[in-house]
Structure 1
Amino acid sequence: MFGGGCSMDQVPFDYLSGKYGDKLGILWLDAHPDIATTNGSSNGHEMVAANLLGKGADQSVTKVKNPISTSHMMYAGLIEKNLRDRDKLVKELNVRFAGPDELKENSQLIIDWIKENKIEYLAVHFDLDVLSPKNFRSVYPAEPYTDEEDFPAAVGKMKLAEVVRVLNDVSGKAEIVGLGIAEHLPWDAINLRKALSEISIFDD
């Protein structure tokens, strides 16, 4: 899956959980945990991980048929210091996570998680905003004239090369059967298209 917000992975990952059962793990590459409930948020994209764990909104449109065990979900690239009240389930449910600094040199923490939980298949949520806007520009915090210090949520710290290494490392331990790439915002392309649309030669 490519494009759109984080909630795009809910239905495919729910399906994969039903297919592979407790042999499936979900690796959530994201600066944010997306684990809010209706008590802390009204945004569906902030609840998708909670929904997949069976802890989110209890409505027909969001309810997951095959919730995954908390031991079978792990966050990578999560910015712990920026966790908000709406993110408290990360700690309350003791969901495993590894921050950007812990993944700079190797992927061992994720590999250990795979081995400990006998995970054979992986569904990977790759939110592009896990990446530093200094390294990858097509992310929300890289919107022109945006100051990272003023951004209202955690700003990713990982490099694209580090994510590629992580995915290659884990694919040697478990088969990746699902990959969602979310939050692609190519600002230059968006702004160029908007600018060109205002020039008469491009009129219909």
Structure 2
Amino acid sequence: MRAPLPPASKEKRLMTNAKTIRLVMPQWQGGNNPAYKFGAELLAWLAPETSSPVIHIPVAAADHSLINENGIMGRQQIVNQLHGAQAAIKQHLPDKIVVLGGDCLVDLAPFAWLSERYNDNFGILWLDAHPDVMSPAQFSHSHAHVLGALMGHGDSDLTSVVSTPVAGNRVMIAGINNPNQYEKEFIAAQGINTCSPADVKAGFSTIREWINREGITCLAIHFDLDVLNYKNFRSVLFANPSANESDYDGIGKGQLEISEVVTLIKQVNELTTIVGIGIAEHLPWDAINLKTMLENLPLLNGK
């Protein structure tokens, strides 16, 4: 285990020459939705160029349906890919990690590493309409298990990569909307901090107070794009043009705007050191449909 960094007074100076890596992990099995694979690949193409190492985590092809393996859809593929990400991180020993996914579970190995790396200085800002604290007992799609696993709760195949579980008081879920009863009870029992979309829109004070109160000098940010207002940002699950309006009834939908999230992250960056950022759940429906169209046109498809 690598030793934690010294307190905040030396943090910024020591981070000047920090080693950063970028993980591209087009995992789709956690959400049981092959569209996440293309979404991650397009996200990686859109991202600014970097001089840091870029590591592509191999992901099994989306060429067949998944089966429920002891409570988790596609368990073996999920576990293999999780261990692949863990191995890549241990090979590079980074100080900071950027993750481009894929479903939300892509942040499990990177954030587990950062929690071990920074230990008592570490916290997680979870920008998501959903808390992702369920287990196979509640839901078989493991992208909804990731934050719970980072806290040491849930299926042992997921928690096995978490050597330093994150305490609830060092987690802030921002943008959460309409959690179910199990999620509410878990959040309350674990002492997790939450910030509604209205709170985020009202300003930075709740999150600033949390960072100061907990002394968080090293922060990882999980940015699930579904925290965004799907009526204005259409590349998320809830904007699927093939879905019926009733398909997502009862499920929390994002209410934040891109500008509000960017402002929040910039404010956080002034107050603490961001050591990780993961962007997940990109579903660019128009691009996906256009890609499918091109694959079916004569001459373009080689026929």
User: 1-side partners of 2:106 and 2:301: how far apart?
Assistant: 34
Note if 1:98 corresponds to 2:98. no
Determine if contact 2:128/2:175 at 8 Å carries over to the other structure: yes
In structure 2, do the counterparts of structure 1 residues 24 and 74 end up closer, same or farther at CA, with 3 Å as the change threshold? same
Q: Give the alignment's Cα RMSD to 1 decimal.
A: 1.4
Q: Deviations over 1:109-161 (max 9, x none)?
A: 11100000000011000000000111211111111154555414211101000
Is 2:245 the partner of 1:151? no
Residue 26 in 1 paired to residue 124 in 2?
yes
Amino acid at match of 1:83: P
Counterpart of 1:172 (choices 270, 273, 293) is 270
Unaligned runs of 5+ in 1: none
- How far did 1:181 drift? 0.1
**Deviations along 1:31-60, whole A, 9 cap, x unmatched?**
00000123222221111101111122123x
Partner of 1:122: 219
Aligned pair 1:41/2:159, yes or no? no
* Match of residue 180 from structure 2: 84
Please tell me whether residue 16 in structure 1 is matched to residue 114 in structure 2.
Answer: yes
Residue in structure 2 matched with residue 141 of structure 1 by the alignment:
238
Structure 2 residue ranges without an equivalent (≥5) = 1-98
CA contact (8 A) 1:40 1:85 kept: no
Amino acid of the residue matched to residue 175 of structure 1? Answer: T
Cα distance between partner residues in 2 of 1:196 and 1:141: 24
Q: Distance in 1 between matches of 2:257 and 2:244?
A: 19
Between 163-172 and 42-51, the greater mean CA deviation after superposition: 42-51
- Structure 2: how far apart are the matches of 1:203 and 1:47? 39
SS of the aligned residue for 1:122 comes to strand
Aligned mates of 1:149, 1:162 — CA distance in 2: 28
Question: After TM superposition, which residue ranges in structure 1, 4 or more long, deviate above 6 angstroms?
Answer: none
Aligned partner of 2:290 in structure 1 is: 192
Give yes or no for contact 1:127–1:182 (8 Å, CA) kept in 2. yes
2:207 match? 110
Equivalent pair of 2:294/2:301 in contact (CA under 8 Å): no
C-alpha separation in 2, matches of 1:150 and 1:108: 35
TM-score, length of structure 1 as denominator length = 0.93
Larger Cα Rg: Structure 1 or Structure 2?
2
Deviation of 1:93 (Å): 1.5
**110-119 or 142-151: bigger deviation:** 142-151
In 2, the alpha carbon distance for the partners of 1:99 and 1:57 equals 28
Q: Distance in 1 between matches of 2:244 and 2:192?
A: 31
CA distance in 2, matches of 1:196, 1:14: 40
Tell me the TM-score normalized by structure 2.
0.64
Determine the C-alpha separation between the residues in 2 that align with 1:55 and 1:148.
34
CA contact (8 A) 2:101 2:282 kept: yes
The CA distance in 2 between the partners of 1:170 and 1:133, in whole Å, is 24
Which residue of 1 is the match for residue 170 of structure 2?
72
Preserved contact between residue 118 and residue 218 of structure 2 (Cα < 8 Å): yes
Change (3 A) 1:150 1:39: closer
Q: Write the distance in 1 (CA, Å) between the matches of 2:197 and 2:113.
A: 29
